[in-house]
Copies of this chain bind each other. A is one copy, B any other.
Amino acid sequence: MTIQKPSIPKGTRDFLPEEMIRRNYIFNTIRKVFEKYAYLPIETPSMENLSTLMGKYGEEGDRLLFKILNSGDFMAGVNFNEGTPYQLAPKICEKGLRYDLTVPFARFVVQHRDKLTFPFKRYQMQPVWRADRPQKGRYREFYQCDVDVIGTKSLLQEVELLQITYEIFEAFKIPIVIKINNRKILSGMAEIIGLPEKITDICVAIDKIDKIGKENVFAELREREIPEEAIVKIEPFFDFSGKNEEKLAFLEDFFAESEIGKKGLEELKTVFAYCQEVGITAPELDITLARGLNYYTGAIFEVKATNATMGSISGGGRYDDLTGIFGLKDMSGVGISYGAERIYDILSECNLFPDEIGAPVKALFLNFGEMEELYALKALTELRKNGIASELYPDKAKIGKQMSYANAKQIPFVIMAGEEEIKDSLFTLKNMETGEQIKTTLREISALIHFRSSING
């Protein structure tokens, strides 16, 4: 037997209990809000047919797909002397790991359309995989939490997603700013400068504004053969600050001659009006917000934490034809995605994880030996019947070691019963935080632990 040094693939992670408890707090908080807003869970397989995934994420995305080698004789009929690795891979791999939750969702909606009720409101919280170069904060396996409604064009849904977003981050105590734009505003801009066919080039360039700044965006536009007079025309888009109302007034003038621009403006105004009705802060109109994904057709959102320097922690938008590629036309939807790992990082950095989630186990019985063990065992069974998460140290180890165990697991109460306690049918309860000890009945211990849990969560 050769001994192997234990390790895991780069870019992947193990989660220890302390991290799991924090991660579950994040997922549960998000899930609770999703469910209150009447979204229901679905799950899709980790593997999709490669044909479902390929070509949906651009050439770069195709390269980042993890491909699964066909079982059995994967080599049959394949000539490895002809073709590049990139061309040969799909011949020996029929399946790939999910790259995001959006394409599988579109595939799911079309495949199960007869069983679903539309508008279909779903959430999905599952890992995705990308063969990206691992670096700080970027992993090859990470979770996405997506919420989407598909089958309605109502702008009420945009506002619902904004409500959900505010509520989630309020629960986390993370202060945020939501930025909003509308793809039709960008289309209108392309129309006004007489280059409607250049909309994708324009969006790709503008999308980088935060990272590279205005001048470099202009340089990229020039590279993409946008003429100088067009750039001059759209420059005001980038020099813009002020309130939403001022921006709307500017756009009103700017889009006098663009139908699509006017439509985008109309949609924005409706969303702002609904926000007022439901009593939430209107998102900040950012007319340079583009978001790279080319399936967006209406509203687009981006969420930033104001207490952290990192990029966006959430984003989404409306798409009118996501399901078209799988054969289902006219299914407008809108969705938003929350990144669990970034939320985790902010909560950690800002020390925002609630204390009470750290102590899932409430009590430990110490083990003093065979006879005492049986006495403790019965009491333990009773505590658990009362719904108290608790345990008995399984061996008669040194007391210091047993106490360290309680400390490491952050167990707030230790319960001891030696000869004397057993004689009186009592137990000694030690509060691990204060050090206080009392000798009392099991019933009182149970009540005490319940009381402490109820105030500490």
Contact = CB atoms under 8 A, between A and B. Distances in A.
Interface of A: 1, 3-9, 12-17, 20-21, 23-24, 35-38, 40-49, 51-52, 63-64, 66-69, 71-75, 80, 85, 88-89, 92-95, 97, 107-108, 110-112, 115-117, 119, 121-122, 127, 129, 131, 140-141, 149, 152-154, 156-157, 163, 274, 277-279, 324-327, 360-361, 364, 373-374, 377-378, 381, 384, 387-395, 404-405, 408-409
Contact of A46 (B112, B129, B152, B373): B129
A295 to B, nearest CB: 12
B384 A52 contact: no
A13 B45 contact: yes
A42 B20 contact: yes
B327 A3 contact: yes
Contacts of A95: 9
A15 B129 CA distance: 20
Nearest to A117: B408
Contact of A36 (B41, B92, B278, B384): B384
A405 to B, nearest CB: 6
Main secondary structure of the interface of A (DSSP, over half): mixed
A20 B3 contact: no
B390 A8 contact: no
A53 to B, nearest CB: 11
A336 to B, nearest CB: 16
6 contacts: A6-B111, A9-B47, A14-B42, A40-B409, A69-B69, A75-B88
Contact of A40 (B5, B20, B327, B390): B20
A85 B72 contact: yes
A328 to B, nearest CB: 9
Contact of A45 (B6, B12, B116, B404): B12
A155 B272 CA distance: 64
A40 B68 contact: no
A381 B279 contact: yes
A133 to B, nearest CB: 10
